[in-house]
Amino acid sequence: MSAFSRFTPLVSALPSTVPFVGPEAIERQRGLTVKARIGANENGFGPAPSVLTAMRDAGGDIWKYSDPENHDLKQALAAHLGTSAANIAIGGGIDELLGQIVRMVIEPGAPVVTSLGGYPTFNFHVAGFGGRLVTVPYVNDHEDLDGLRDAVKRENPPLVYFANPDNPMGSWWDADRVVAFARAIPETTLLVLDEAYSETGPASALPSIASLIDLPNVIRTRTFSKAYGLAGARVGYAISTPGTALAFDKIRNHFGMNRMAVAGAIAALKDQDYLLEVVAKIHAARERIAGIADANGLRALPSATNFVAIDAGRDGTHARAIVDGLMQQGIFIRMPGVAPLNRCIRVSVGPAADMDLFEAAFPEVLKSIG
């Protein structure tokens, strides 16, 4: 058999995989039906009615490409954030933006610092562009800011990634610690500050826009997927200095945004009353999940996100058994992938009906696995 490969050595060496196995794939593979979709950190409460109306209204113009400059969305975000449109770059969700960031700054073999067990999609992009991951373990279920800073000093990497609030543990650092960390990073290292859950955490965890906007080596990434309930629409944005934000224009897909999704994102920004209602529902659902954990003799970790990590008390094998047992009953959840974080399961918030199914199934699964 020929040893010929049409792909580059890098691509040939990569596994054909995805960072997350979706509930749809699990349904197909195992012949099961998902009854409660509370594992992908989606917002089961959904977007505002005004957002759905705006998207339907935009449907008649779907024959048109979306504005390649994303002018209206940038202007709406600038007004919402209190900054300039020149400070903003638009992409198809944070995942797409992360891929573009890695492509812009990473050459094969270059070190990239992140947390061991942190967001897998970022790692996926680093591997895809040939970077070398340098990982720092969590400490007390928090990303270790001191450890990340020490790794940056040791490795002098082009890129470091830090999420606040954090996925997969739901933990967070207060804004003053985040700002101090960002300002301690040397100018030769680009910091990705992933703020996907910025709307669901305490105000004390979110640095002001002004506190970091002058740093050309800081990119803050945010999304409409979580609090705004538009995960399937794929709209994300990055905040940085004008020069850094402009660099995305060198490589992005200028016609890559969905016209209806952009209309929905603009409408979502206008409907802040609905956002406040949803955030309150998210907080209430987090409390309910914590209560369910407590009722079953387990501990829920404090969360600033739209999910709750529950310490299952043993190891990854036990946590996996819980995840699989719940899936057998149609309850889709996930777990962190790296020890010691994988002693936990992770449950996304959802409407009362989903929480009811989880509450009923959870003790049965725990009893069945012993």
CB 333: neighbour CB atoms within 10 A? Answer: 23
pLDDT in tens, 104-115: 999 999 999 999
Does position 87 have pLDDT exceeding 70, yes or no?
A: yes
- Calculate helix-pair angle for 175-184, 145-155, nearest 10 degrees: 10
Domain boundary among 238, 270, 302: 270
- Do 99 and 61 fall into the same domain? yes
Which position has the token pair 């992933």?
194
100 inside domain? yes
Mean pLDDT of the chain: 97
| Cβ neighbours of residue 141 closer than 8 Å, sequence gap 6 or more | 169, 171, 301, 309, 341
- Do 77 and 32 fall into the same domain? no
Give the pLDDT confidence score for residue 2 in this predicted structure: 56
Give percent of the chain with pLDDT exceeding 90.
Answer: 97
- Do 210 and 289 fall into the same domain? no
7 inside domain? no
- Do 239 and 210 fall into the same domain? yes
Owning domain of residue 179? 49-270
Q: What is the mean pLDDT of residues 8-33?
A: 92
- Do 328 and 258 fall into the same domain? no
**Total domains in the fold of the chain:** 2
- Do 198 and 288 fall into the same domain? no
Write the DSSP assignment of 102-139 as a string of letters: HHHH--TT-EEEEETTS-HHHHHHHHHTT-EEEEE--B
pLDDT in tens, 200-213: 999 999 999 999 99
1 inside domain? no
In the sheet with 299-300, reading across from the earlier edge strand, the strands are 299-300, 307-311, 344-348
- Do 78 and 227 fall into the same domain? yes
